[in-house]
Every structure is written in structure tokens, then in C-alpha cells.
Amino acid sequence: MTNTIKNIAIFDLDGTIIDSSHRQLANADGSINLEHWFANNTSEKIAKDKLLPLSKAIKNADYVVFCTSRQLQNADLDFFKTNGLLANKIISRPFGNTEKDGILKKRQLQFLVNFKQFKQATKVMFDDNAEVRQEDRKLFPVINPNKLNKEVA
């Protein structure tokens, strides 16, 4: 059996394909205030999230990975289903983990570089967090979605 996965698209959620800005608070350095995020990560508030234009690009990849710094819960999965957000693999922050986003995502995405079925595939990641882009570019290209979301809107 030959490898049929030619391209892999990795999408961050918040600020990339989902607008959850109504639940976010930034720290002075521009990073997300995790304590505030956890407190506002409720089913009611998740249901008020909106899709960003880049979410339409999901259907163009052979293999789609959602890689988020969120701690996912059932309300997130319901939002994905309701909005037609389909992924082959969903990676999220383990409960209790407070690693910096870039280090967390780089560690979690290493399988795309190491596993035989993914080695030859073209990989591209979309993430609005500059720290994630800097860290994860050690694995594959990472694109800032902000301009894309404005152009596609």
C-alpha cells in the first residue's frame, strides 16, 4: 500500500479559523492569559464563537490536523460538528498543562515529522501566535493567518 497523503494542513483554532475573541484577554507580552481563558471556557461562551474565513480552506487538504492550546471539552466538539469543522486528528492542551504554546505544539506535532506515513507529505501550519510560529517553524512552514483571513473575508 502506498502513501496517499500528499498534503497536510495544520490549523490552530482561536484567531486562525475560529473567532473566540469575546473570551480572550491578552497579557502585557501579547500572550493569552490562561487563567482568564480557563474561566471563560464555558459551553455558553463557546457557542458564541464564530468561524473565520480561513476555515473554508480546511477542505483543501488530504489530511487535516487541528492543533490548539485550548483544553477541549464537549462544547468545543459540538461547535466543530455544528459548523462542519472536520479534522483527521485533533490535538489539544492536556488538562493541567501550562507549557508555553509553541513548545507544547511543537512537541505534539513531532509525529508528523517522525512517522513514516507522513514523512513525504507537504506540511503547512496556520497559527496566529508569533511564539508558536517561531518555535514550530523548526518542523515545517507556519503561516500567520491574519492577512489571509482579511483577504478571504
Domains of the chain: 7-20+51-152 (3.40.50.1000)
Residue 64 CB partners (closer than 8 Å, separation 6+)? 8, 9, 10, 11, 58, 86, 87, 88, 89
pLDDT digits (tens, 9 = 90+) for 63-121: 999 999 988 999 999 999 999 999 999 999 999 998 999 999 999 999 999 999 998 99
Q: In the predicted model, is pLDDT for residue 144 greater than 80?
A: yes
pLDDT, averaged across the chain = 91
Predicted TM-score (pTM) of the model is 0.90
The predicted structure's pLDDT at residue 98: 87
pLDDT-wise least confident of 23-32, 51-60, 106-115, 122-131: 23-32
The predicted structure's pLDDT at residue 48: 94
pLDDT digits (tens, 9 = 90+) for 94-108: 999 989 999 999 999
pLDDT-wise least confident of 39-43, 57-61, 89-93, 130-134: 39-43
The alpha helices in 1-153, defined as continuous H runs, are 34-39, 43-46, 74-82, 101-109, 111-114, 116-119, 130-136, 145-152
